[in-house]
Amino acid sequence: MGKKIGKAICWFMAFAGLMSCAGWFATNALAAILALLSAVLFCPLTWSLTKKASGREIHSGAFVVAALAVMFAGSSMMAKGDKDLASEQGFASVADYKAATKLGLDAEAYAKHKAEAEAAEKQKAELAKAAEAKKESDCRNDLQCWAQKNELDAIVTCKRAIESLAKYDFEWTDGITAPIFARLSWGDKARGEIIYIGDQVKFQNGFGNFLKHKYACKFDPVAKVAINATADPGRL
């Protein structure tokens, strides 16, 4: 099983070498020849033919090691060639050279293209940031939006504050059809404080009975604290 997997990998490397060879011939013929040679050495068929022609048993690993060495030499030569070409043509890096080659641009035209693309990207980011800031500001001044955005924090914090008002035991009755907060109002709009109002709790009295209570909790979304909470018998 291991030998089959090894051969499959070598066939893949041979194919990759051929593809590299085809792409490299236009820019570096010697590197392309080395890529072709590595593809030949990676090919299991080469191993069989060489062993048969020489009449000797040659370990397959020798072909793989030779193929890797040749492939590395070709890749290094190609990389150096790209670096030299990039430098000769006035590009700041090989990456810029390759990108410009794909676009069919020289160094000067690519520098202009890159600067324009970066400026456009920067403007896009600034516009997105401004739009997000406006959205946040609009929400901050809209009671429903601001309250909904901070509702989860308010539920956790205000529940504890309301529970602390019970003299004895308490019982929450909120659920899917009965949200814990049914009404809203501004506590201090300038500071962003919200008053969450509801009636989904029962407090036990001194006789052991549970009575429905309505409550109000002033919540500070910035500090994430309940400023104060009140509760009175009855419903909204």
Could you please report the per-residue DSSP string of the chain? -HHHHHHHHHHHHHHHHHHHHHHHTTT-HHHHHHHHHHHHHH-HHHHHHHHHHHTS---HHHHHHHHHHHHHHHHHHHHHHHHHHHHHTT-SSHHHHHHHHHHT--HHHHHHHHHHHHHHHHHHHHHHHHHHHHHHHHHHT-HHHHHHHTHHHHHHHHHHHHHTT-SS-EEE---SSS-S--EEEEEEGGGTEEEEEEEEEEEE-TTS-EEEEEEEEEEETTTTEEEEEEEEES--
Portion of the chain with pLDDT greater than 70, in percent: 60
Amino acid at 3: K
Per-residue pLDDT for 93 more than 90? no
Distance CA 211, CA 200 (A): 11
**Higher-scoring residue by pLDDT: 95, 146:** 146
Distance CA 68, CA 189 (A): 70
pLDDT digits (tens, 9 = 90+) for 165-188: 999 999 999 888 889 999 999 999
Per-residue pLDDT for 233 more than 80? yes
Q: What is the pTM of this model?
A: 0.55
Average pLDDT (194-208) is 95
Portion of the chain with pLDDT greater than 90, in percent: 45
Confidence of residue 76 (pLDDT cuts 50, 70, 90): low
Mean pLDDT, the chain, integer: 79
Confidence of residue 132 (pLDDT cuts 50, 70, 90): very high
pLDDT digits (tens, 9 = 90+) for 135-146: 999 999 999 999
Distance CA 88, CA 102 (A): 18
Rg, the chain, Cα only: 37
Average pLDDT (52-74) is 64
Task: Please report the pLDDT score of residue 139 as a whole number.
Answer: 94
Confidence of residue 40 (pLDDT cuts 50, 70, 90): low
Of the ranges 61-65, 115-119, 151-155, 204-208, which one carries the lowest mean pLDDT score? 61-65
Confidence of residue 34 (pLDDT cuts 50, 70, 90): low
Compute the Cα dihedral for 29, 31, 34, 39 and give only its sign: negative
Task: Please report the pLDDT score of residue 195 as a whole number.
Answer: 97
Task: Please report the pLDDT score of residue 224 as a whole number.
Answer: 94
Distance CA 100, CA 108 (A): 10
Distance CA 140, CA 219 (A): 14
